[in-house]
Structures are given as C-alpha cells and as structure tokens.
Structure 1
Amino acid sequence: MRRWVVYTAGFLFVGCISIGGVVYWKYEPSHHWNGMEVPVLSVPALSRDDTLTDHEPSTSSVTEPVPEATTPSTPEVSTKSISAFNVLVLGTDARKEEYARSDVIMVLHVMPELRKVNIVSIPRDSRVLIDGVGYTKINHAHMLGELKGGNTEGTRTALQTVSNFLDVPINYYLKTDFKGFEDFIDTIGGVDVEVASDVYLYHAQTTLAKGPQHIDGKLALSLVRERYAFPDGDFGRQYQQSQILKNVAQEILRPEHISEIAGLLTRVKKDIVDTNFQDSDLISLAWLLKGMSTNDFTTKQIPGHSGYEMDPLEHLRLYYWIPDKVKVMEISQSLLKDPF
C-alpha cells in the first residue's frame, strides 16, 4: 500500500511537471512568439506623402478627393517570421444606428524576446491622408470604411490609414467600443490608475481624486474619454489610455484569476468587438505585460502643432493636430520597426 502511494505521488508529480512545461512552452512570451509566423494585415504605401509637414502650404487641392491608392480592397493577410510585431489598438465611439469613429488610436510595437513594448499614441484629430478622401482627421478612417463595407471595411481602412501614416506594417489589431470597454474592465474586477491631480470626469459627472485609485468600468471609460480636464488636453488623455492598457494585464493575471483564465478569457473576448489574435496569443501577451516594469515601456505621442484647415468631409475649417512629418518618421524608425 505504501509503495502504491509513493508510485501514485511520483506519477502525479511528473504529470504536473509535464503539464507545467507544456503550459510554459505554449504561453511564455519568448517561447510562444519565437520564430512564429505572424500575419501582415497592411503595409504602407511608400510612394505617397501621407503626412503633413509643419511647412506644407494649405492648397485647395487638399479638400478634393484623392485617387485610390494601389492597395487591396481587403487586407492581404500574408505571414512571415519576425522577432517583433505591431498591434493597432482601436477604441471606437460606436452607438446604436451610428457609424463608429476611432476615439482611441494606439500602435504597440511588441518585442517578446526583449520583454519590451513601445506605445505610440495618435491624437484622434491628427490630419492625415485617407485614400479616396483627402486630408482629414484620422478618427474618420474607421467611419468612412464602415460606410463602404461595414465593420470589416472599417477595420481595413483604419489599418491602412495608420500603416500609411506611420510607414510601418500592422500585424494584429484589437478593437472595442464604449460598451465593450466598460464591460471588459468590470469583468476583470476594475483597474488601477495613478491620477496626477484631481480630475473632473464629465461623462461620469464626478471627480477622481489625486493619487492611486482602483476604478470600475464606468470611471475607466470616462477617464480615457476625458480631454478638457487635463492641462495638456488630448496628451493627458493619451497618457491615461496607455496607463490603463498596461495595468489591465496586471489585473488579468492576478493569482486569483489564474485558475479561471480560460473562462475569464471567454468573457473578455465578448467585450472585444474584433481582433485577429488567437486565444493563446492573448494569454501570452498578457503574460508578457504582467512581467514588465514601467521601465520596459516606452510611450510616445505624435508631435506636431494645432491648426485649422478645410475639411473635405465637413467642407468647413476644422481644428486639427497637424503632425510634424520629420519627427513622426523618426519615431516610426526608432520605436515601431523591427530592430532585428
């Protein structure tokens, strides 16, 4: 009997070690992504000048339609093995019976082997070239695509516009809307944020006090939408967006969630409107973010200046954030392109 207990214990021990090894090999970031064939959803149209320099004169031709670029009508999903990849994160303002603009636009350059992530935030009012339309606000790209072909075309147009603007390929995307984002934060039990000073959240009609806070989905959504309460406007909002993104992984992989990670992931995916990540990719990505410190993240915002220009859609002079072309290309080269 004693020998049987020893044998059983031995088999269980070996079994646990084997299962642990399989899980580690499948999800641990440096193993999961090493040499993996990742999709290439969009590549930049290199022959065109898709950004506006500080010195580019405003002309009447800016408000006229621009011929379609020689890019496919749907993303050509090719694959190749790389050591780093780019992820487009979109937060849309979709509401019932309305087409969705992109309220949150970020590109993540993920380097699993180095365990580092670069985050480039794009102001929604950035003035960029959209195929077939002209120079307009980048957050119009998704809406214009939806008008032509629904959610799929909205995603494709947003992907191609960002790819052209930053001159980088995009491999993955994550898209959610207001309702999905709020439910997502509530599903994982809220998220930690650090507030630099008291901030009044217009959409929640409440004030978030200075210091560390653990907030629910409603407050998190109000925080990432807020612009006017921050001294630096949209840049303060973009900082909060990147902070929440980093802290979400900390919540997903808390010890109390590990045993229910599969069920949690199922619930979380219901709140994501659209993505081309597989379940194993999302777990590995969360694992990567969980093990990183603040120093492992580099966050940049698109440099430029404020201005007013004619808009080809509204036929009015609108406020824009006008990107500095040279500095944007420097950021793309240093933060969003594969160093290997």
Structure 2
Amino acid sequence: MLAGLLVLGAGAAAWAYLRLDGNIRGVDIDHALGDDRPAKGVTTPSPSPYAAADASPLPTGSLNLLVLGSDSRSGAENRRLGGGEGGSARSDTAMVVHLDAGRTAATVVSIPRDTLVDRPSCPLDDGESTRPASGVMFHTAYEVGGPVCAVKTVETLTGVRMDHYLEIDFAGFARLVDALGGVTVTTRQDIDDDRSHLTLDAGTHHLDGTQALALARTRYDVGDGSDLGRIALQQGLVKALVRQITELDLLTGPTVLYEVADAATAGLTTDTGLDSLGELTRFARSLRGLTADRVTTVTMPVLPAPSDPNRVVADEPEAEQLWASLK
C-alpha cells in the first residue's frame, strides 16, 4: 500500500514538473545575435545565504534583464483580455531590470513604447534579416522581429548587454496575479478609462488579475494621456507585486505553490538560459533577498520628439548617463 502511494506520488510530481516545464517557451537569443553585442558585465559573486549546504551555490552576480509585456491576441483568453483580434503582437511594456551584485537590490528602467529609435537590422528564423529603420517607435522592434529584435534594439539604444529575456502575455499576467491572491495598490487619482475598462476611485485597492492587467494598460485617463502616465502606474504595480511575493509564504501549501508556478510559467517566453523550470526556479531563489523597498523604479529620460509632439526621444546626455550607471 505504502509503496503504491509512493509510486503514485512520484508519478504526480513528475507530471506536474513536466507540465510546468512545458509551459515555458524558449528563444535562443545568444545564438541569434552572436558576438555583435555589448560586452558582458564582470562581477565578483559572493556566496548566497539561501543556498543549502548540499546544493550548488545560487548565482549572485549582477544581471540585466529585458522584461516585456506582450499585447499578443494569440488565444481566446488573450483576445478577451486585449479586447479583440488586434494586429501583430508588440511590446506593450518594456523594462530593463538591473540586479545589483548580491541580488538584494534592483533598478527597473521603463522604456516608453512611444520612443522614436533607430532600429537595427535583426536576424529572423528563416535566415533573412529585417531592414534597419530610423525614427521608428520602439515597440515596432518586437512587431517586426520578435524577442531577438527587441533585445538587439534595446542593446543598441542603451549599450547595455541583456543577460536574460522574460516576456509575459495578457493572460499569463492576469493568472499570475490571481494565483498570488491579488495585489494591493494605491492610486493617487480617480481612474475611469473606457479603453482599459478600469474604474477606480483614488485610494488603496486590492485588485484581481483582470483588474491589475487593466491598471497596467491604463493610459488615456491618467496624466496627459501619454505612455508616461501609464508607466507610473506600471512601476507602482511592479513594487506591489514584489511586496506581495515577499509577504506570501508559498511553502505553506504545495497546492498554492503549484498554482503560482503554473500561472508564472503559462504565457511565459524566456531566453534559453531560463527556459527550464529548474533554471527559472534557481534564478527565482537567487532573488529571495530582494524586497520592494530595495527596488528603484525610473523612466528613461525623454523629451517630445521634434518631428511629432505625440512621440518622445531619448533626452541626452541624461539617458546615456543612466545607461552608463547600470554598466
């Protein structure tokens, strides 16, 4: 009887692992871009206090990640949350996340999607390449060349090597927030946005996944209606999620842990360095010392584009100084 239960338990654990591992889509960005990239940063790692004595040491070196929120309408749930079929997928949200050595502090730099940039030529899966373009909106890089072109465009813009890539779609983000039990945020003004379908009075609110996604997408009813107002909401949401994850003891129940892991991996695309459950878990464990009060959120300095007041361009030399500080 006991042997039978152990076999069933092992089988269930293996099925759960394979399901979660299979949720993750990997893109070999390093292979696609080759050596035509900024140099990798060099840090002196320190021992992690969270690694077990009999386990391999957790990584502690500084790291740069490009985190994208995709507005893909692929799948029924993404279409429902996104409000229709939509066109080609674009990067609705873009953040460069710099983890300090030791991984107990982070700087999150938002890049406005309306930023006009020089988009480089990017390799495609079929062996062809996209054409370079000048003065185009930042989010078109993902639209024409997917994750590889998004990374190459960010590295061209910033001069900073992206060590890893993480992308989550509408449905994956909403499911993750729900699995965490929702997220508590405070808004400074009333929100009544017809496009994101979010209505909130100024104050503190506990949001479910659909509401949190709507907050991340709200734009036309905050500030001047540009992407800069939405970025402020997104940055507050990032800190709130870090706080929620820190406070939630996921080890108290395997069911809750599985639900969060399933939600976190569903709708997730990473580079091949993080595209297995083992690597993603190891990376997450290396961030256990990171708390919301050690997360600094900033926006790349921009100013109105001379060619179009509805677009922005990098404000130099301030933007270059910001990227240099991350190096």
Q: In the alignment, what sits opposite 1:326? A: 317
Encode CA deviations 1:157-198: one digit per residue, 9 max, x unaligned. 000000110110001111112222222222322112121121
Q: In the alignment, what sits opposite 2:48? A: none
- Out of 51, 56, 75, the position equivalent to 2:33 is 75
Report the AA paired with residue 124 of structure 1: R
Q: In the alignment, what sits opposite 2:52? A: none
Q: Which runs of 5+ in 2 are unaligned?
A: 1-27, 44-60, 75-84, 121-131
Partners of 1:290 and 1:237 in 2: CA distance = 28
Encode CA deviations 1:65-115: one digit per residue, 9 max, x unaligned. xxxxxxx8x133998864201010111111147421111010000125161
8 Å contact from structure 2 (residues 175, 263) kept in 1: no
Encode CA deviations 1:139-172: one digit per residue, 9 max, x unaligned. 0000111xxxxxxxx1000000001101100011
- Out of 87, 107, 110, the position equivalent to 1:118 is 107
Partners of 2:287 and 2:185 in 1: CA distance = 16
1:246 equivalent to 2:239? Answer: yes
Q: In the alignment, what sits opposite 2:191? A: 199
Q: In the alignment, what sits opposite 1:209? A: 201
Partners of 2:151 and 2:196 in 1: CA distance = 31
Between the two proteins, the alignment pairs up a number of residues equal to 253
Which runs of structure 2 are paired with 1:123-272 in the superposition (5 Å)? 123-131=112-120, 132-145=132-145, 154-231=146-223, 233-253=226-246, 254-255=248-249, 258-260=252-254, 261-262=257-258, 264-272=260-268
In 2 relative to 1, CA 282–195 (structure 1 residues): closer, same or farther, beyond 3 Å?
farther
Q: In the alignment, what sits opposite 1:65? A: none
How far the C-alpha of 1:41 sits from its partner, in A, is: 5.1
Report the AA paired with residue 324 of structure 1: D
Partners of 2:71 and 2:156 in 1: CA distance = 23
- Helix, strand or coil: the match of 2:212? helix
Partners of 1:264 and 1:114 in 2: CA distance = 22
Partners of 1:134 and 1:187 in 2: CA distance = 42
Give the TM-score of the pair, scaled to structure 1.
Answer: 0.66
In 2 relative to 1, CA 101–302 (structure 1 residues): closer, same or farther, beyond 3 Å?
same
Give the TM-score of the pair, scaled to structure 2.
Answer: 0.68
Which protein shows a greater Rg?
1
Report the AA paired with residue 161 of structure 1: T
In 2 relative to 1, CA 107–84 (structure 1 residues): closer, same or farther, beyond 3 Å?
same
Q: In the alignment, what sits opposite 2:68? A: 90
- Helix, strand or coil: the match of 2:174? helix
8 Å contact from structure 2 (residues 103, 287) kept in 1: no
Report the AA paired with residue 90 of structure 2: R
In 2 relative to 1, CA 280–239 (structure 1 residues): closer, same or farther, beyond 3 Å?
farther
In 2 relative to 1, CA 281–298 (structure 1 residues): closer, same or farther, beyond 3 Å?
farther
1:307 equivalent to 2:285? Answer: no
Q: Which runs of 5+ in 1 are unaligned?
A: 1-39, 43-71, 146-153, 310-316
8 Å contact from structure 2 (residues 198, 214) kept in 1: no
Partners of 2:214 and 2:293 in 1: CA distance = 27
Q: In the alignment, what sits opposite 2:127? A: none
Partners of 2:289 and 2:41 in 1: CA distance = 26
Encode CA deviations 1:205-261: one digit per residue, 9 max, x unaligned. 342122221101111111111112112542231122122223324434512554333
Encode CA deviations 1:13-62: one digit per residue, 9 max, x unaligned. xxxxxxxxxxxxxxxxxxxxxxxxxxx956xxxxxxxxxxxxxxxxxxxx
Partners of 1:293 and 1:134 in 2: CA distance = 39
Which runs of structure 2 are paired with 1:49-60 in the superposition (5 Å)? none
How far the C-alpha of 1:325 sits from its partner, in A, is: 3.0
- Helix, strand or coil: the match of 2:230? helix
